[in-house]
Structure 1
Amino acid sequence: MPHELYLLAGRYRLLERLGQGGAGTVWRAIDEMLDRQVAVKQVRVPGGLTPHQHAQFVERAIHEARSAGRLRDPAIVLVHDVVLEGHQPWIIMDLVTGRSLDKLIRERGPLPPGAVARIGLQVLSALEVAHAHGVLHQDVKPANILLDADGSGMLTDFGIAAPMGGPGDRHGSAGSPGYMAPERLNEQPSGAASDLWSLGASLYTAVEGRAPFERDLPAAVAAAVLLHEPPFPARAGRRLGGLLMAMLAKDPAVRPTAPQVRQALTALLQAGPEPAGGRRRWLLPTVLAGVVALGAGGWYAASALRPRPETGRYAAAPDPCTLLTDAQARQLTKGTPVRSASRPGECQWIVRDEPGRTLTVRAWAEKPDGDLGGPQVAQRRFASEKATRAAGKGAEGRDVRGGVSDVPGVGEAAILQNSFTFYINTNKSGRSDSVLLFRASNLLGEVVWHRDDVPASKPADKETAVAAARLVAAAAGG
């Protein structure tokens, strides 16, 4: 562990440790080049990794920090830089002088519903910007919501952010169990609804003064998130309380969407404080009031009043391990691959006789979201991924990322991107990835062809990725 006054990357002087959690340690530091104070996040690298897994983790963390650095919103703490030192990534961010929401709750107790609604709208704005860029925060909690002197909220610490639509939690147990959505605890694919669940849990804590699934032991907290409903937040009132219960639904598909949450919070602020015994106001014939008053079940009722959106051809994503035969994998990899169901929604063929070669197949089905059907949600997600990946084109350090190109004949739409990372001690070889993403109805599939020890003179092998994707899409019925 570095000590105070440690000089990071010859530029950032660590002054004091501000906090520590499962995802890493945050320091207050001085940027000696620009003579300004910054926050430095030392990302925690999981133990027990092989050298290859360690390198992959670090590469992902750096790439995802760079993606977060492109986000701009008044409620987002800016990411300025990311450096690699001591075999781990460090993220340089704005230093916000306000107090965290969890500290404010400890000092003053529960916050009024109106103040909680205003904070919720500001954090929601930050999440909407991140989601529009295809980035999930994955660690929304009171400790990562900062409040300045006028009460304005900002969302910080995108240190474990991940691409939207990816397979499961890339960082394992990183995050706080009481603020991790059930699907994340089950290591299922995360989406925008997962971040909104965490926002709901954070706002519940703010208005009640205690977490919705508060227990003595972390394991008990996780079990409560998965198996139990939280008590109705009595201090919130029926309007805000009903919304929070809806946001904490176990099934991501029935939670309110970001526009619905924004509409409900805005209506709550416009209506003013909820009067005691004010049931008559709840009988006003507005769809939103009726929905929120009913709690989580209200979102079902509202959706029943309008045509059910199209689900799409896929009620569930096919098992990726069934989308390629072993014979096809042998032909594609030109080796003897071993098939492994690495995690839900993902399958890998690892070539044992050619170390460093791995063919990965992922598949996930999008569900209807609000008024959008499954195919429309998949189309929006595909477009977001395309824009985000295209924005990453260029060279940074030893990483070179190519442009995004359309690939005809794979599903309804497909894109390909190649990337190459030079080894630290040479400019003649490195690691190569060819990544193909395709869409068919409400199904999204991804094929990643990874190779180690690749000569820089021939950094890409897109033909293998494209051939594999054609077989995968055909087997999936796309």
Structure 2
Amino acid sequence: MPGDLYLLAGRYRLIERLGQGGAGTVWRAIDEMLDRQIAVKQVRVPEGLSPHERAEFADRAIHEARSAGRLRDPAIVLVHDVVLEGGQPWIIMDLVSGRSLDKVIKEQGPLPPGFVAAVGLRVLSALEVAHAHGMLHQDVKPANILLDADGSAMLTDFGIAAPMDGRGDRYGSAGSPGYMAPERLNEQPSGPASDVWSLGASLYTAVEGRAPFERELPAAVAAAVLLHEPPFPARAGRDLGRLLVAMLAKNPAARPTVPQVRQALTAYVAAPGAPGRRRWLLPAALAAVVALGAGGWYAVAALGGRQDTGRFAKAPDPCTLLSDAQAARLMKGTPERSLTRPGECQWLVRQPGRRLIVRAWAERPDGDLGGPQVALRRFTSEKANRAASKGTVLREARGSVADVTGVGESAIIQNSFKRFINTNKSGASDSTVLFRTSNLLGEVIWHRDDVPATKPADKETAIAAARLVSAALSK
């Protein structure tokens, strides 16, 4: 454990320990290069790993932290950097003011249902963005929900987010027993429903003033999660209480989906006379934009006024933005097409291992910003974040970001190359184009396996595919 004033990576000076949990330790630090305060998460490396397993754990932690760093939402605390030092991954994040929800509950007891529902909507927004990018948070709990003075909420600790591929828990489960879904405690595959369960447990705690499976010992908590039903949250009222109970269903398939939870919470908050709504939410509605330090901010809905939603009420099916014939010409083979997850379509040529991935998502108005403004803000932020990722970490090298013409209203491309573990002569290559059209953001990824290290990039194919996708959107 480093002591006070430890200098990390020759740049981040640790000042004080802010908190510690099963996933690691969070420090307040100063970025001496930019002269600003930041938060640094020292990721806990599981005990008993062999040197190879330790290196593999660090490699995966860095990769997933970098993936989490690409998530952008007003309710997400930004991840800026990730470094490896002393055999441990360290995640550099915004230092956000405000108190955690668990501290507010300890100080004030049960919170008004209307306020809790509004907090739930903010956290849900962050989860929706993560899920759309194929990431699970895995540690939604009151301690990771930060509240500003006006009651607006942000979800932090995305640095330990994991992909939806069943591999996130290989070296042990992150999270707290009382807020981990039953399937995670049983070491079964996680999905968006797992984050829904954790959010339900967090909102239950906020509105009732105690956790749904509160017990004295952690083992008893885990047993209760697996075997018992929680008491009905009487303070929540009938409608919100029923929603929370449904979110805490043992079977993931029986839980409401993220869109269903959003619809229910939105209706509850908007309903006249929602308990606690006027007292807690009116100040937030009068706030405009609140700064949370360099790089971190969020907007709160302003009263009145019309907003430009943009051209796209919802994102189109990505599988319709590129024909199979077009994909075959680009990939020089006969691809298999599949909708890999909502908002993402993949064309795959198994031999010699090529994938063309198309993603699309539409941004909604946010406070006093219209949909196109939100999309522009996120595109600009993403461009800066990707430019900052240039460099080599372990076996993966990322190139510089370059502008692309003829794709949407604005577009960028970045190449990356990851050497195989057993050789430096070949590896996997990605050429990624990110573009913006009105309120829609799109991404085209051209992935190739077994590429010679002497010629890792093929940006022409990625750009050609992106131009075809952009043309389909303009029809």
Corresponding position of 2:9? 9
The alpha-carbon distance between structure 1 residues 35 and 387, as it changes in their structure 2 partners (threshold 3 A), is farther
Quote the offset at 1:102 in angstroms.
0.3
> Given that residues 64 and 161 in structure 2 are in contact (C-alpha distance below 8 angstroms), is that contact kept between their aligned partners in structure 1?
yes
> Given that residues 392 and 398 in structure 2 are in contact (C-alpha distance below 8 angstroms), is that contact kept between their aligned partners in structure 1?
no
TM alignment of 1:311-350, pairs within 5 A: none
2:84 matches 1:88: no
Quote the offset at 1:99 in angstroms.
0.3
Q: 2:134 is matched by which residue type in structure 1? A: G
The CA distance in 2 between the partners of 1:95 and 1:266, in whole Å, is 29
SS of the residue aligned with 1:128? Answer: helix
The CA distance in 2 between the partners of 1:387 and 1:376, in whole Å, is 11
Q: 2:395 is matched by which residue type in structure 1? A: D
TM alignment of 1:73-472, pairs within 5 A: 73-167=73-167, 169-273=169-273, 379-380=341-342, 383=345, 386=357, 396-400=392-396, 419-420=418-419, 429=424
The CA distance in 2 between the partners of 1:39 and 1:205, in whole Å, is 26
The alpha-carbon distance between structure 1 residues 167 and 27, as it changes in their structure 2 partners (threshold 3 A), is closer
Quote the offset at 1:399 in angstroms.
3.0
The CA distance in 1 between the partners of 2:209 and 2:35, in whole Å, is 39
> Given that residues 160 and 171 in structure 1 are in contact (C-alpha distance below 8 angstroms), is that contact kept between their aligned partners in structure 2?
no
SS of the residue aligned with 2:96? Answer: coil
> Given that residues 114 and 273 in structure 1 are in contact (C-alpha distance below 8 angstroms), is that contact kept between their aligned partners in structure 2?
no
> Given that residues 237 and 274 in structure 1 are in contact (C-alpha distance below 8 angstroms), is that contact kept between their aligned partners in structure 2?
no
> Given that residues 169 and 188 in structure 1 are in contact (C-alpha distance below 8 angstroms), is that contact kept between their aligned partners in structure 2?
no
Quote the offset at 1:172 in angstroms.
1.2
Q: 2:62 is matched by which residue type in structure 1? A: I
> Given that residues 79 and 91 in structure 1 are in contact (C-alpha distance below 8 angstroms), is that contact kept between their aligned partners in structure 2?
yes
Quote the offset at 1:272 in angstroms.
3.5
Quote the offset at 1:97 in angstroms.
1.1
CA RMSD in angstroms comes to 3.3
> Given that residues 398 and 421 in structure 1 are in contact (C-alpha distance below 8 angstroms), is that contact kept between their aligned partners in structure 2?
no
Quote the offset at 1:170 in angstroms.
3.4
The CA distance in 2 between the partners of 1:198 and 1:402, in whole Å, is 34
Quote the offset at 1:44 in angstroms.
0.2
The alpha-carbon distance between structure 1 residues 199 and 254, as it changes in their structure 2 partners (threshold 3 A), is same
> Given that residues 429 and 456 in structure 1 are in contact (C-alpha distance below 8 angstroms), is that contact kept between their aligned partners in structure 2?
yes
Quote the offset at 1:166 in angstroms.
2.3
Quote the offset at 1:419 in angstroms.
3.1
Quote the offset at 1:173 in angstroms.
2.9
SS of the residue aligned with 2:260? Answer: helix
The CA distance in 2 between the partners of 1:397 and 1:135, in whole Å, is 21
SS of the residue aligned with 1:159? Answer: helix
The alpha-carbon distance between structure 1 residues 433 and 59, as it changes in their structure 2 partners (threshold 3 A), is farther
TM alignment of 1:4-83, pairs within 5 A: 4-83=4-83
The CA distance in 1 between the partners of 2:397 and 2:182, in whole Å, is 34
Give the alignment's TM-score, normalised by structure 1: 0.62
Quote the offset at 1:165 in angstroms.
3.2
> Given that residues 145 and 153 in structure 2 are in contact (C-alpha distance below 8 angstroms), is that contact kept between their aligned partners in structure 1?
yes
The CA distance in 2 between the partners of 1:245 and 1:71, in whole Å, is 29
The alpha-carbon distance between structure 1 residues 267 and 168, as it changes in their structure 2 partners (threshold 3 A), is same
The alpha-carbon distance between structure 1 residues 9 and 418, as it changes in their structure 2 partners (threshold 3 A), is closer
Q: 1:419 is matched by which residue type in structure 2? A: K
The CA distance in 1 between the partners of 2:41 and 2:426, in whole Å, is 27
> Given that residues 120 and 265 in structure 2 are in contact (C-alpha distance below 8 angstroms), is that contact kept between their aligned partners in structure 1?
yes
Q: 1:205 is matched by which residue type in structure 2? A: T
Quote the offset at 1:215 in angstroms.
0.7
The CA distance in 1 between the partners of 2:269 and 2:58, in whole Å, is 43
The CA distance in 2 between the partners of 1:10 and 1:168, in whole Å, is 30
Q: 2:78 is matched by which residue type in structure 1? A: L
> Given that residues 426 and 453 in structure 2 are in contact (C-alpha distance below 8 angstroms), is that contact kept between their aligned partners in structure 1?
no
Deviations, residues 29-48 of structure 1 (Å, cap 9, x unaligned): 01111110000000000000
Matched residue count: 326
Q: 2:393 is matched by which residue type in structure 1? A: G
